[in-house]
Structure 1
Amino acid sequence: MRKVNELPSSYGLIFRVSFGHAFFADGTLRALRIVPVPACHDMLRRAGLLLRAQEDGIAAYGDAKAVQRLRLHIAEAGASLRMGFQVFLTDPLFFEYTAPAWPKGKLLFLDTSRAFPDAAGRQRLHATSSVPVSAFLDRDHADLAPIFGKHVLAPAPAMALQVVVSSALLEASEPGQRHFHAHFDAAGVALAGDGDFQHFGAANIADDRRAHVFPSKRAIAKREVGPLRFHLRAAARRKADSRSP
């Protein structure tokens, strides 16, 4: 995939898929590697599309000739084109801070033909505000066959993404109509109101010290914590400078 700054000026967006996560401060999920399956790679090549890795997903671009080729392929097939992608996770701790819990032996299936408009003007890849448990499928599920064939490729990805390129998609005038988005929730729950904590007034902590402890009665939602920044040295220097004659 070429770098973004090498995109020809005649090329426009065909589709974009992004991923978000409530765990991260900016809501962006970056720990992904998205790879087209062989049939999809061949389809992209024959149509003359450029596939670009994005910070939070992928995007495909094409010029007027590429769009015309896609229209011809759709007409010849008598149906929309289905492009399949494998999505791998590059953060080994992903499952620790993600909800819902990832069912063992299953894949998350995301299909752009099942998208819903969201408040940001994008097309959300699930009916609920975040990815639901119902979106996970067994690896031999019939819905995965158009992407993987009879067997899931090894190593098995965490997700299967199907981008349906239809005539309606090619005619979409707004960028948000071509932008598909999936959002993950953070593990745990946000605490609010009274009665969320228990009180223990005689707890032992380090060095046998006694302390009041207030553990939560429920799981607390995990959130990313940014790196700490200390400015004590700079503050001390400014104070010293202010005292100098």
Structure 2
Amino acid sequence: MHTQDSHGQARTAHTVGGVAGVGGTGGLPAGMAGVARPAPLRVDAQRNLEHVLRAAREVFGELGYGAPMEDVARRARVGVGTVYRRFPSKDVLVRRIAEEETARLTEQARAALGQEDEPWSALSRFLRTSVASGAGRLLPPQVLRVGVDVEEIPEPAAPGDTRVPHQRGPAPQPGLRVVTPRTASAAELDDSGVSELLGVVGQLVSRAREAGELRRDVTVADVLLVIATAAPSLPDAVQQSAASARLLEILLEGLRSRPA
């Protein structure tokens, strides 16, 4: 549109972001000249965020969640201040990574459960997929309790006592204390994403156990330990892949039931 100034000369009015301004400063209203456009900054910020998240997965996957934020920044090739601008504390970053990897594992478990008819095939597929993705090494630290459960093994029953104590596996020697890992309860986790993961993996474990293909003493915690286990880091990628595959085969054989 055109307007006229006090001398009757036509000047062009521009609209910038919905605000009308008079030409003379590149189309920007008075006071807005030199204001940086936000779009490039948003693109840069998004790119930095992706770099930080990728670096965090790599660093925490290799060194555990105890790795310092400086290592994440170094791997992402950004300043540590950039990391803290996106994640005000390390706990916030750890939670973000853990939640994303938990969701990924849940989807992998669902896919195995829905696409494999054979119970053992479903469980082994989940294990292979999760180990290959590396997500198991990034499980939330609280998924497995720091402590363990200790079960007292009862002494032999008195003569005439026909009761059979409940046991999940082969009967151990009387008087021994059996130490087994266990998953935390939903209340202890206080995280619906983790609870959902435990529920789906629990279905895989139950199906394989009921089919007689999984050892009776194997728990969901044991399966999570398998996917959280990694072969030592090797300089050659081919050797690393072969070592990881071999380790997984050994662990899978350890989970399978054997004829009595």
What is the TM-score with the length of structure 1 in the denominator?
Answer: 0.24
Larger relative helix fraction: 2
